[in-house]
């Protein structure tokens, strides 16, 4: 079993949601922390805990970012973190683990299932610090209403301003601690 610390400089949590039923709008959180206890010989002994700083939200549009930080969506002043904690991990293929855990978002905790692709470990050149690093990637679709994010506006004719489904993607680099 080895312990890995998430490298916030090389990790991102991104999201995409349908806007006006015609295009996906994307955003990301650039401050992720946490640990991964990883045992490639017996992946079921592994565990994951990830914390995303919700205040670090960016979509590239200041007005939209400000709205997303309100009670209509993330309510960042009340819920400053998005947290995932694994409850079970099993092997699901070559370099793929099926991770079950609890996602806490906007004060609501719900179970989610993630297929996580992992790669590495690799050692960076000594000039770059010589750290041993692994990569982890996953994507999941959640219903934002399940987390109390109900804000929407009806469109003329049929449809809504925002879709219910949100695709979350995590790209994580983690450095060996022990």
Over its C-alpha atoms, the chain yields an Rg (Å, rounded) of: 18
Q: Which of the four pLDDT bands, split at 50, 70 and 90, describes residue 127?
A: low
- Res 145: pLDDT: 96
Give the C-alpha separation, 155 to 115, whole Å: 35
Rounded to two decimals, the pTM is 0.93
Cis peptide upstream of residue 82 (ω within 30 degrees of 0): no
Give the C-alpha separation, 159 to 115, whole Å: 31
pLDDT in tens, 55-76: 999 999 999 999 999 999 999 9
Give the C-alpha separation, 61 to 23, whole Å: 16
Give the C-alpha separation, 27 to 86, whole Å: 24
- Res 178: pLDDT: 75
Q: What mean pLDDT comes out for the span 25-46?
A: 94
pLDDT in tens, 132-160: 999 999 999 999 999 999 999 999 888 99
- The residues, any chain, with a CB within 8 Å of residue 13's CB and separated by 6 or more, are 28, 29, 32, 52, 82, 168, 169, 170
**Side-chain-side CA neighbours of residue 92 (13 Å):** 14
pLDDT in tens, 14-32: 999 999 989 999 999 999 9
Domains and CATH numbers, the chain: 2-176 (2.40.128.110)
Report the range of poorest mean pLDDT among 7-16, 67-76, 117-126.
117-126
Closest alpha carbon to 48 in 138, 129, 128, 126: 138
Share of the chain above pLDDT 70, in %: 99
Q: Which of the four pLDDT bands, split at 50, 70 and 90, describes residue 34?
A: very high
pLDDT in tens, 66-106: 999 999 999 999 999 999 999 999 999 999 999 999 999 99
């Amino acid at each position: 079993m080895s312990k890995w610390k998430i490298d916030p400089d090389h990790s991102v949590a991104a999201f995409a949601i349908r806007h006006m039923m015609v295009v996906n709008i994307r955003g990301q959180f650039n401050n992720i922390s946490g640990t991964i206890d990883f045992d490639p010989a017996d992946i079921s002994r592994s565990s994951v805990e990830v914390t995303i700083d919700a205040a670090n939200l960016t979509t590239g549009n200041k007005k939209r970012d400000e709205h997303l930080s309100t009670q209509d969506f993330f309510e960042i002043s009340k819920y400053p973190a998005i947290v995932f904690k694994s409850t079970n991990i099993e092997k699901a293929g070559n370099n793929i683990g099926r991770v079950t855990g609890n996602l806490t978002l906007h004060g609501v905790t719900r179970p989610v299932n993630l297929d996580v692709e992992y790669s590495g470990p690799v050692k960076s050149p000594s000039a770059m610090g010589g750290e041993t690093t692994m990569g982890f990637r996953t994507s999941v679709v959640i219903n934002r209403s399940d987390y109390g994010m109900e804000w929407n506006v009806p469109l003329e004719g049929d449809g809504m301003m925002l879709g219910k489904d949100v695709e979350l993607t995590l790209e994580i680099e983690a450095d060996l601690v022990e």
